[in-house]
Each structure stands twice: as C-alpha cells, then as structure tokens.
Structure 1
Amino acid sequence: MAEQQKEMSFLGHLEELRWHMVRSAAAIFILAIVFFAFAEQVYDHFLLAHIQPDFITYRIFCDFFNFFGVDSDFCTINFADKKLQSIKVTSQLMNSIWSSLILGVIVAFPYILWEIWRFISPGLTENEIKRSRGFILIASILFFIGVLFSFYVIAPVSIHFLYNYQITDSIQNSFTLESHIGLVTNMLLGVSILFELPVLIYFLTKIGLITPEFLKRYRKHALVVVLILAAIITPPDVASQVIVAIPILFLYEIGIKVSKRVIKNQEKNANKS
C-alpha cells in the first residue's frame, strides 16, 4: 500500500511537471506567433541590425578611436553589397519560424523560470523559500544583461570581422540568410545562458556539490572551460572569444563570493539548530 502511494505521488509529480512544461511551451509559442507576425520589423530592426553601417556600436567605436586620433574601419563600414542569399525555396519561411521560436524562448525566459520555481518550491522549507525569493529577478536580470551584451558588443564585433575577412580578392563573400541569423541567435541565446553562472554556482553550493575552495582551486581549469565555451558560441575570431570570456570570468569570481555566502549561511543555521 505504501509503495502504491509512493508510486501515485511520483506520477502526480510527473503530471505536475508536465503541466509546467506545457504552460512554458505555450508562452514560447504565443510569443513566437507575435514575432512571426511582425517578422519584417524583427528582421530589419533586430536580427539584421548589425549589417546597418549606422548601428550604434559602430558609431561608438568610431567616436572612441577618433577621440584618440586613430583611424578605424568602424568609421567606413559599408554593407551595401553584402546582400544575404536565400538559396532554398523554403529558406525564408523556415528561418522566420525558427528565429521566432528562439526569440520566444528569450523573451519568455522569466516566465519559464517562474514555472520552474513553482515546481520546486513546494519541496523547500519556508526559510529556504524566503532566502531564494529573489531568484527569478536576479536570474532574469543576468540573462537579459547577457542578451544586451551579445547584441550590442559580441554580435557587431563578430559580424564586422567576418564580413570583412577575405583571404584573397579571388574569393567573394556571399553569405546565406541561415548562416547570418544562426550566428546572431546562437550568440544571443548562448551568451545569455553563460551569464547564469552565478545562479548555477549558488544552487550547486546549496546542494553540496561545490565549495568556494573548490572554485578557487580549479580557477585555471575554469578559464580553459570558459574559453572552450566561448569558442563554441562565438565565431572563430580571437577578439569575440576574449570579449565573451572576460565577463564570464568576472561572473565566476562573483560566483565564488556567492558560494562563500551560501556556506556561511548554512554554517550559521547549523549553529542555531
């Protein structure tokens, strides 16, 4: 009888998890429909914004170098002859559907976190719920900082480099729609997820898998892992990888402080009990 109740309880949790996933998927789908409906504006002002010579990042870099009296390619950017190719009949349709889904995931991220929180919070004590109340806000802020960082820093630097890189004049660059949009969306999503590092460290410390000493001891190994991840989610140019790696390493150091605080609070609670 006890085993049957345990099985029913397990199945009940699975059913509850299923509905949390259904609601999250519904939110993503609804947002994707909105993005798809306004696909022209989304592409012109967001996904293809980096091939506009007057993009704000290019102007800032131009002004920065001019201030120091240095000539810069950012002041003479010209993407006029860089028309994207749509090779297959279904390319534009499938690309707009896929990019709408990815943007749906990005915008729905706080809601997805809320659904995850609703699922795990019943298993937490009242004190744990109180201490973790800012989880959704902090994780969402870190995520959208990653979105802004990748959109305004990583993407323009990468696209400027890749669009202007040419081995010889005998080779003409002619990029496809899929390669450009894939580059932008992968960076948006990948960098934003990496910015969740302090949150991940917080939960791993809470469950006892890592400690501040562990993070300090393997700091050099973490540097290698960060560089590998940066190489995966960014184009193969060193500048983009370094630009991604720097804030991630900074977040790693913040994670060490977060881990210390978690351990300190756990020790304080243990002494009280």
Structure 2
Amino acid sequence: MSDNQGEMSIVDHLGELRKRIIYILVVLLVGLIIGLVCANPIYKYLISVDTAKNFQLNAFAFWDGIGMYMKIAMVVALVLTIPFTAYQLWAFVSPGLREVERKAALRYVPYAFILFVIGMAFGYYVVFPMALGFTTTITKNMGLAETYGISQYFNFMFTLVVPIALLFELPLIVMFLTKLRILNPRRLRKMRKMSYFALVFIAVVITPPDFISDFLVTIPLLLLYEFSVYLSSAVYRKQLAADEAADEAAEERYAFPANLE
C-alpha cells in the first residue's frame, strides 16, 4: 500500500512539473508574439547606437531579415519569461517549504527580471563593444574588406549578451538553493577554486582573445560569485537562528509539563 502511495506521489509530482512547464511554454509563446510586435523599434534602436553606426549591414539570404526579427523576439520572450519561470519554480517546490521559507523565496521572483536586465545591459554596453572593436581591428589590420551580414552581426551580439545575462542570475540561484538547504556558504567556499576556474573559462570563451577584455569580464563574474557567497551566508545565518529558536521553543514545551510534576 505504501509503495503504491509513493508511486502515486511521484506521478503527482511529474504531473505538477508537466503543468508548470506547459505554463512556461504558453508564456514564452505570448512573449514571442509581443517580441515580434516590438522587434522593429528594437531593431531601429540597435542599429542607431554608436556600436552599429560604423557598419553597413547586408542581407545575404532572403530569410535574414525575418530571422533577425525572430532572434529579437526570442530575446524579448526570454526577458518576459524569466520572472514567470522563477515563479513557477517557486510554486513547484513551495509545498516542501515552511511558511516563512515560502514567503522569503517568493520575494526573489522580481529580482530574477532585474538581474537579467542588468546582465543584458552589461553585456551589450560593455562586453559587446569591446568584442566588436577587437574583431574589426584585426580585420582592418589584415587588409580585409568589411562586409557584414545582418544575421552575423546579431548572432555575434546575442551570443555574447544572452549568456552574460544568464550568468547574472547566479546570486539569485545561490540564494534560492541556500533557502532550500541544498547549498550553504561553507560548501560554496570549498567550491571557490573550481568556480573561479569555470567563471574565468567562461569569460575567456565569450570575450576577444586579449587580456584587457578577459580581465574586464572576469572581475564582475568573480565579484558576482563572492556576492553570491555573501548572500548565502546571510540566508544561512537566518536559517541557523530560526532552527535554534525552534529548538529552544520545543525544549520549553517539553520541559513545562515536567516542571508541573
């Protein structure tokens, strides 16, 4: 009987997860529609900034223009879906949390959107101009004619900007996992060397192969990790204090009848 109940429990969890994923896909579809509506003004802004003014973008295929609109729409949909996805993740795990933990974790949802937007701004206004300037300088030094396609330009942009924006979610993810007691500051400190190596590797991969660009991207990523450790420590201290208060309250409840005797 207990095995059947356990099996049903697993089935229920899978059904709940499936429902949450469907919700996310629906919001992603709505975001794509909104993104397509906003694609043209966003495109006009992106090609009007100083980074793009120096380039004459060309279409090398009939689908380049439509493909560019779809890429912009996908990024818009991703921005809109990130906080909703965070909420759905919270809704999925919240039954296993205490009331205080549920309320605290729910506060993280708006910050998922804020951090993603900050990450996109950092990627677009800091990393992307550096990478573009480096590659075009090399091209000119080689005496090559610069003829860029619109698809290549936006692919290059989104390949840099979107991963950086996702990396900016690291503090929020660490706080959430600490709240679930999956991570703690002690474990994060033990993982520091491995995490630093991974972040430096990511920075080197997504930036031009020069020390200055690598340094300018690596430092914010390492600071993000240390900030994540700090936030994890703050959450962990509150958890320990809450556990200690709960233990003291339990001891008082059990000690009270004994005192009456």
TM-score interval w.r.t. the shorter chain? 0.7 to 0.9
Whether 1:184 and 2:157 are equivalent positions in the alignment is: yes
Aligned residues: CA RMSD: 2.5
**1:145-179 residue CA offsets vs partner (Å, 9 max, x unmatched):** 11221122222232233233336453223222222
Q: Which amino acid aligns with 2:206?
A: I
Q: Could you tell me which of 94, 104, 115 is aligned with 2:67?
A: 94
Q: Which amino acid aligns with 1:179?
A: Q
**260-269 or 22-31: bigger deviation:** 260-269
**Change in CA separation of 1:108 and 1:205 when aligned onto 2, cut-off 3 Å:** closer
| Greater relative contact order (CA < 8 Å, ≥ 6 in sequence) | 1
Q: Measure, in 2, the Cα distance between the counterparts of 1:155 and 1:47.
A: 14
- Conserved 8 A contact 1:230-1:244: yes
Matches within 5 A, 1:62-81: 79=54
Counterpart in the other structure of 1:57 = none
Q: Measure, in 1, the Cα distance between the counterparts of 2:180 and 2:126.
A: 35
Counterpart in the other structure of 2:37 = 37
Q: CA deviation at 1:237?
A: 4.3
- Conserved 8 A contact 1:47-1:184: no
- Conserved 8 A contact 1:50-1:156: no
Percent pairwise identity: 26
Q: CA deviation at 1:252?
A: 1.5
Counterpart in the other structure of 1:228 = 201
**1:209-268 residue CA offsets vs partner (Å, 9 max, x unmatched):** 544344345534433221111123334444333222222211222122122223322322
- Which blocks of at least 5 consecutive residues in structure 2 are unaligned? 248-261
- Conserved 8 A contact 1:43-1:49: no
Q: Larger Rg: 1 or 2? A: 2
TM-score (norm. length: structure 2): 0.81
Matches within 5 A, 1:41-190: 41-46=41-46, 49=49, 51-53=51-53, 79=54, 82-166=55-139, 168=141, 170-190=143-163
- Conserved 8 A contact 2:196-2:222: yes
Q: Measure, in 2, the Cα distance between the counterparts of 1:218 and 1:118.
A: 29
**1:49-83 residue CA offsets vs partner (Å, 9 max, x unmatched):** 45344xxxxxxxxxxxxxxxxxxxxxxxxx1xx22
Aligned residues: 246
Counterpart in the other structure of 1:21 = 21
- Conserved 8 A contact 1:29-1:101: no
Q: Measure, in 2, the Cα distance between the counterparts of 1:41 and 1:160.
A: 25
- Conserved 8 A contact 1:158-1:237: no
Q: Measure, in 2, the Cα distance between the counterparts of 1:165 and 1:117.
A: 47
* SS of equivalent residue, structure 2 residue 29: helix
